């Protein structure tokens, strides 16, 4: 077994990762959008045991030692890359809501692997495609990790030749404005995925493919088509029983002409608005309708994160 190269104590980096919304309606497990809401994580190599200090989301609930997911993934990735650290001191300021369909788990994976890469010597770092593939394999699918890494909107797939994950960054119309409604209720991704059927009729698959293709055009060229372009048959109706309030909000918004979808596995609701006026109208309707539900909702007119993960070297060591 080759000897792992030890990283020096004191080497430190900071990583900021955006929230993401996957699927965008018909782009199941394929399309994703980065939102300007970021978790910020600082890694420092230490001589002693690993530790984690978390503020914000997960504060008091997440591990404060080396069992923290980001520390474990970072150390595992360093070992794969031929390096080791006695321990990592992690400071995390979390703002991405957990288990709400905004890519918190993907953000953790991207933070861990991008942070681990940044701790290596610059010449040791992989190309972006390699980091995407590593993150997507850790997460299990690429729809959230791709926009978290690259920013903007992405379309991802599995390469037929080697089974690796690939992605393409999509052009976005400047009028696109995301509106996000986040409930206080949570929904585990595995629970939502467990409600999906194993197969669908050929006609449904064909209709879904057509809307996904239309969505890439609407996002780039013609936001007036966002409502028909975000029609979905593959996942949202099947998952409605697990998030009835979210499903009702989507229906109400769509009947009013807004391109509303379930964000990722839910229960957050995302509206893709064509311009600031439409975004404010959608936010007002969401707020009004949300008041009649049992959950407490936070409605925000957001922004697309044009830049993906940000990495800053604090101390080379």
Task: Return mean pLDDT, the chain.
Answer: 94
Count of alpha carbons within 13 angstroms of residue 135, beta-carbon side: 36
Full DSSP string of 205-256? HHHHHHHHHHHHHHHHT-GGGHHHHT--SSSHHHHGGG-HHHHHHHHHHHHT
Phi, psi angle pair for 127, to nearest 5°: -70, 160
Do the annotations mark residue 146 as ligand-binding? no
Alpha helices in the chain (DSSP H): 69-80, 104-119, 128-139, 145-150, 189-193, 202-220, 226-229, 236-239, 244-255, 276-290
Does position 126 have pLDDT exceeding 80, yes or no?
no
Structure confidence at residue 24 (pLDDT): 98
Average pLDDT over residues 62-72: 96
Region 79-87: mean pLDDT is 93
Quick: pLDDT tens for 203-262. 999 999 999 999 999 999 999 999 999 999 999 999 999 999 999 999 999 999 999 999
Residue 156 has pLDDT above 60, yes or no: yes
- pLDDT tens-place string over residues 264-276: 999 999 999 999 9
Instruction: Count Cα atoms within 13 angstroms, Cβ side, for 238.
Output: 17
Q: In angstroms, what CA-CA distances link 178 with 160, 170, 294?
A: 33, 16, 24
Task: Provide the pLDDT for residue 4.
Answer: 75
Q: Is pLDDT of 2 > 70?
A: no
- How large a percentage of the chain has pLDDT more than 70? 98
The full set of domain ranges for the chain reads 5-169+305-315, 176-301
* pLDDT value of position 189: 84
Looking at residue 271, its pLDDT comes to 98
Omega cis (within 30) before 80 = no
Q: State the pLDDT at residue 1.
A: 46
Q: Is 98 marked as a binding-site residue? A: yes
- Asked whether 167 and 155 are in contact (CB, 8 A), the reply is yes
- The structural architecture, per CATH, of the domain 5-169+305-315 is 2-Layer Sandwich (3.30)
Per the CB < 8 A criterion, the answer to whether 265 and 239 are in contact is yes
Give the pLDDT mean for 103-112.
Answer: 97
Q: What is the mean pLDDT of residues 55-77?
A: 96
Is 259 annotated among the ligand-binding residues?
Answer: no
Is there a binding annotation on residue 103?
Answer: yes
Higher pLDDT, 141 or 268: 268
Q: Tokens at residue 265, please?
A: 């596995």
Query: Given this model, what pLDDT does residue 192 score?
Result: 87
- Residue 106 known to bind ligand: yes
Which of the residue ranges 181-195, 275-289, 294-308 would you say has the lowest mean pLDDT? 181-195
Tokens, residue 204 = 């449904």
Chain segment 170-202, per-residue pLDDT in tens: 999 999 999 999 999 888 888 888 999 999 999
Taking domain 176-301, whether its CATH number is 3.30.70.890 is answered by: yes
């Amino acid at each position: 077994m080759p000897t792992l190269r030890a990283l020096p104590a004191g080497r430190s980096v900071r990583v900021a990762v955006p929230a993401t919304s996957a699927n965008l309606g018909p782009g199941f497990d394929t399309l994703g959008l980065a939102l300007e809401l970021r978790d910020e994580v600082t890694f420092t190599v230490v001589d002693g045991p690993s530790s984690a200090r978390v503020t914000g989301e997960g504060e008091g609930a997440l591990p404060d030692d080396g069992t923290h997911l980001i520390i474990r993934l970072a150390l595992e990735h360093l070992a794969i890359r031929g390096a080791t650290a006695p321990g990592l001191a992690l400071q995390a300021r979390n703002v991405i809501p957990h288990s709400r369909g905004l890519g918190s788990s993907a953000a953790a994976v991207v933070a861990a692997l991008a942070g681990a890469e940044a701790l290596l010597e610059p010449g040791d770092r992989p190309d972006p495609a390699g980091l995407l593939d590593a993150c997507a394999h850790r997460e299990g699918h690429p729809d959230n990790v791709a926009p978290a890494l690259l920013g903007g909107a992405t379309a991802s797939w599995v390469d037929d030749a080697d089974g690796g994950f690939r992605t393409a960054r999509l052009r976005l119309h400047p009028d696109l404005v995301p509106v996000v409604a986040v409930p206080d209720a949570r929904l585990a991704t595995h629970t939502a995925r467990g409600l999906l059927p194993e197969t669908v009729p050929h006609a449904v698959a064909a209709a879904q493919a057509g809307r996904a293709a239309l969505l890439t055009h609407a996002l780039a060229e013609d936001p007036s088509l966002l409502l028909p372009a975000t029609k979905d048959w593959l996942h949202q109706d099947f998952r409605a029983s697990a998030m009835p309030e979210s499903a009702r909000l989507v229906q109400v918004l769509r009947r009013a002409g807004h391109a509303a979808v379930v964000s990722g596995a839910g229960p957050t609701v995302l509206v893709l608005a064509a311009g600031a006026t439409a975004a404010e109208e959608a936010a007002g309707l969401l707020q009004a309708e949300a008041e009649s539900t049992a959950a407490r909702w936070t409605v925000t007119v957001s922004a697309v994160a044009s830049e993906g993960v940000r990495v800053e070297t604090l101390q080379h060591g």
